[in-house]
A and B are shown apart, each in its own frame.
Chain A
Amino acid sequence: MINNNTVLITRPNDDPVLNFLYFWTEEVVKEARKRRYNILDLRGNKSNRKNLESYINKSSPSLILFNGHGTSSSICGYNNETIIELFVNDSFLTDRIVYARSCDSAAKLGAKCKAKAFIGYIWNFVFYFDRSNVLHPMNDKLAERFLKPSNLIGTTLLKGKTANEANNRSKSLMLKNYFEMVSSKGLYEEQKVASFLWGNIAGQRLYGNSEAHI
């Protein structure tokens, strides 16, 4: 039985790139907390396959939000451990709504698993950041242009909206950011990396039931 009041989040933090995702995910965790969801927060080294499978078996979350490295058929956790892999343990995603903020994982895993709905990327998920902000990821306004729209997927789903709405709202914000970045109002550095935001827009895919919601 799927538990509509439970959300599971993975957010390893064992390298600087993941550390950005770790901190930016806090925004989604706050939204879940505000809405009184039961939050299974697999942070840091808790993002491993054993914990993931155990928590899903025990609490059966309706929504799973992955942060981590990925391939076309898998998603990784802490220390690059593969925690979900197509044809190995993808059944843990069955009938759940999934968002994977990881490279490539929508290409095969998202397309073929039996998640109720799966939102992810069919190629690299890319973002830029200022190297002076590595220790303070939340201060990075450039990273915000890329990461805020991806957070919107999670927060929209947590509000009970459909997967289609979450996907569209995220893409709309990315487009808004893109056009602001390339406009004359955009900072020089924003203008130069805006094309990479388009890559995220074009590569973001929704599979499964677009009307699915928690």
Chain B
Amino acid sequence: MKPQPKSKKILSKTSVKNKDFEEQLRELVVARLSAIPNNLQMAVGSSQYTIEELIESVQKGDEIGNQLVELQVQYLKDLASGEIYKELDDKQ
């Protein structure tokens, strides 16, 4: 069944190797979040977050912030690798 399970440890792996890279990833995700209109909120787990709160979490590096970075990096990797289009082919 696709997609295969993927690691959620992207950030922890990169942070060990390269702090600057980790910081760049955070900045990338903050930039992506900043483009989301402020009238929207994200529902995840037991909470709802405003865009400002999400940005703050990513900058602080708390649990939800790290999860967001990992999910966004995984998304960008899947986009770049064509995994998203493979999934589309599988479902057609």
**Residues of chain A having any CB pair with chain B under 8 Å:** 15-17, 20, 69, 76, 80, 103, 122-132, 142, 167-168, 171-172, 175, 178-179, 188-189, 192-193, 195-196, 198-199, 201-202, 205-206, 210
Contact = CB atoms under 8 A, between A and B. Distances in A.
B8 interface: yes
A20 B41 CA distance: 12
Contacts of B78: 198, 202
Contact of B67 (A80, A124, A129, A193): A124
Contacts, number: 91
B16 interface: no
Contacts of A16: 43, 48
B53 to A, nearest CB: 12
Q: Which 10 A-B pairs have the closest CB atoms?
A: A17-B43, A69-B46, A172-B91, A195-B75, A192-B36, A199-B71, A126-B44, A124-B44, A103-B45, A189-B37
Contact of B43 (A129, A172, A175, A210): A129
The majority secondary structure among interface residues of chain B is mixed
Contacts of A127: 42-43
B80 interface: no
Given A124-B71, A171-B91, A199-B75, A131 B40 contact: yes
A129 B71 contact: no
B19 interface: no
